């Protein structure tokens, strides 16, 4: 690829101006206040729930829980029997715009998580009872911003460790049977097709029995439905959509045509659902839970999974799940008490284990599910894997 200096700076200006779009006519002061109130309330009530304070000195300190142990080289491993576990929310290394593709077959000595508590001395404090990104320090947030820029331009240092061997190694240590890998298609120029890149890597690594490939298309792509059919023919088991990163409204007519194709192909859809609280405000209107109602109600024979259980808008997500048989909540990032409340109020049949690896280690969300289901083996079985088998239409391994 050849690009002049003028073309390069024009493209960079285009990317920078992408954040100067309108905030959406329906994004209100009430929406802003609701997010602020959720963050303040969560912080104030941390440690006051049924499990008490759950604060650890980084990830490795989770070995204080009876579910885990440390290996000789200091890695977390599971130390208890588990039912079959399916992680419904992982990603492999991203590369967009001018960055070269990540070598997804390369093993590295350690995984550099995007919230990497154990990469500093002393490790950062890890509070299980808050939404997980509340554990970011300002320094970590700055590092995440720079990593995002590098991922667009030169290739991210962290992204180069988000590879198939590193993911499978972690799965082996934690006795995780399978993991759904979720690409995200964007409209940036020069970007390669992340779905095809991951499908080819999974095939070359011979791990199709461990990694469950999802597809991603952009609803604004006029070839999106044709691509989705091609991906389905190549074996994807679902569709990943990220309204904030992809900058589309989930209730738009373009998105509706994608859901209609998912219905024909019998593919579940997993959204990044709800506001995380650390994204730029101009992206937040795309993630509002009310934007998901049209899809859920018009496509009742499509399974919709709300990633992060609706993030910081979890109450609205839970209400939609309660009202609609075709909605499930994937639990990555939620705090321990909030997961307990979802389990208490919705039961176990609506909840799915997910980690959001490599933002965080798989053990963080796993620890929370194990704590919540400590005296309910049936709920543990359903949340850790049983529900995913049904939603993803996967035949259990013999």
Q: What is the mean pLDDT of residues 292-311?
A: 98
What's the pTM?
A: 0.93
Q: Is the peptide bond before 191 cis (omega within 30 degrees of 0)?
A: no
Work out the pLDDT band at 187, boundaries 50, 70, 90.
confident
Domain map of the chain by residue range? 36-391
Q: What are the residue ranges of helices labelled H in the chain?
A: 5-17, 29-45, 138-153, 164-173, 194-205, 224-233, 243-246, 253-265, 293-298, 314-323, 336-346, 362-372, 377-381, 387-391
pLDDT tops 70 at residue 13: no
**Pick from 35-49, 86-100, 206-220: least confident:** 86-100
Secondary-structure class of domain 36-391 per CATH: alpha beta
Buried b (16+ CB within 10 A) or exposed e, 234-262: eebbbbbbbbbbbbbbbbbeebbebbebb
Percent of the chain beyond pLDDT 70?
A: 93
The predicted structure's pLDDT at residue 398: 54
Q: What is the mean pLDDT of residues 24-52?
A: 93
pLDDT digits (tens, 9 = 90+) for 135-186: 988 888 888 888 877 777 777 889 999 999 999 999 999 999 999 999 999 8
Q: What is the mean pLDDT of residues 23-46?
A: 90
pLDDT tops 90 at residue 81: yes
Going by C-alpha positions, the residue among 279, 289, 290, 252 that lies closest to residue 359 is: 279
Name beta bridge partners: 328: 305
Quote the Cα angle for 82-308-155, to 5°: 100
**Pick from 156-160, 224-228, 260-264: least confident:** 156-160
Work out the pLDDT band at 349, boundaries 50, 70, 90.
very high
User: In 3-state terms, the chain is what percent helix, strand and coil (to 5)?
Assistant: 45, 10, 45
pLDDT tops 80 at residue 243: yes
The predicted structure's pLDDT at residue 153: 72
Work out the pLDDT band at 397, boundaries 50, 70, 90.
low
Query: Which tokens hold the place of 72?
Result: 């000789």
Place of tokens 């199709």: 208
pLDDT tops 70 at residue 250: yes
Give the chain's mean pLDDT.
Answer: 92
Check residue 188 and give left, alpha or beta (phi > 0: left; psi -120 to 50: alpha): beta
pLDDT tops 70 at residue 14: no
The predicted structure's pLDDT at residue 380: 98
Q: Which residue has the higher pLDDT, 25 or 279?
A: 279
pLDDT tops 80 at residue 237: yes
Q: Measured between alpha carbons, how far is 292 from 249 in angstroms, rounded to an integer?
A: 9
**Pick from 120-124, 224-228, 252-256, 343-347: least confident:** 120-124
Going by C-alpha positions, the residue among 355, 367, 332, 357 that lies closest to residue 111 is: 357
């Amino acid at each position: 690829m050849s690009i002049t200096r003028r073309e390069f700076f024009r493209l960079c200006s285009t990317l920078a101006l992408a954040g100067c779009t309108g905030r959406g006519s329906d994004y209100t002061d009430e929406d802003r206040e609701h997010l602020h109130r959720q963050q303040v309330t969560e912080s104030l009530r941390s440690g006051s729930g049924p499990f008490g304070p759950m604060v650890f000195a980084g990830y490795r300190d989770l070995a204080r829980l009876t579910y885990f142990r440390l290996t000789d080289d200091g890695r977390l491993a599971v130390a208890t029997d588990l039912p079959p576990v399916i992680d419904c929310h992982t990603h492999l290394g991203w590369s967009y715009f001018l960055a070269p593709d990540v070598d997804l077959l390369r093993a590295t000595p350690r995984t550099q998580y995007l919230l990497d508590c154990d990469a500093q001395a002393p490790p950062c404090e890890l509070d299980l009872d808050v939404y997980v990104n509340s554990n970011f320090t300002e320094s970590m947030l700055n590092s995440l911003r720079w990593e995002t820029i590098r991922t667009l331009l030169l290739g991210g240092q962290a992204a180069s460790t988000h590879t198939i061997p590193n993911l499978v190694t972690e799965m082996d240590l934690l006795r995780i049977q399978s993991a759904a890998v979720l690409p995200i298609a964007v409209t940036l120029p020069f970007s390669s097709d992340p779905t095809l890149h991951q499908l080819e890597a999974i095939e070359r690594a011979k791990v199709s029995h461990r990694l469950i490939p999802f597809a991603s298309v952009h609803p604004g792509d006029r070839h999106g439905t044709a691509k989705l059919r091609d991906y389905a023919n190549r074996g994807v088991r679902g569709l990943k959509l990220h309204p904030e990163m992809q900058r589309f409204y989930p209730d738009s007519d373009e998105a509706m045509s994608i859901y209609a194709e998912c219905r024909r192909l019998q593919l579940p859809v997993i959204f990044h659902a709800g506001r995380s609280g650390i994204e730029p405000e101009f992206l937040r209107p795309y993630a509002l839970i009310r934007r998901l109602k049209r899809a859920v109600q018009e496509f009742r024979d499509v399974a919709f999974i709300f990633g992060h259980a609706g993030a910081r808008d979890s109450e609205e997500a839970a209400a939609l799940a309660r009202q609609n048989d075709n909605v499930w909540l994937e639990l990555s990032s939620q705090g321990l008490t909030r997961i307990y409340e979802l389990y208490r109020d919705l039961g176990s049949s609506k909840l799915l284990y997910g980690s959001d690896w490599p933002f965080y280690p798989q053990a963080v969300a796993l620890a929370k599910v194990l704590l919540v289901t400590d005296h309910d083996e049936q709920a543990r079985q359903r949340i850790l894997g049983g529900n995913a088998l049904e939603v993803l239409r996967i035949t259990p391994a013999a």
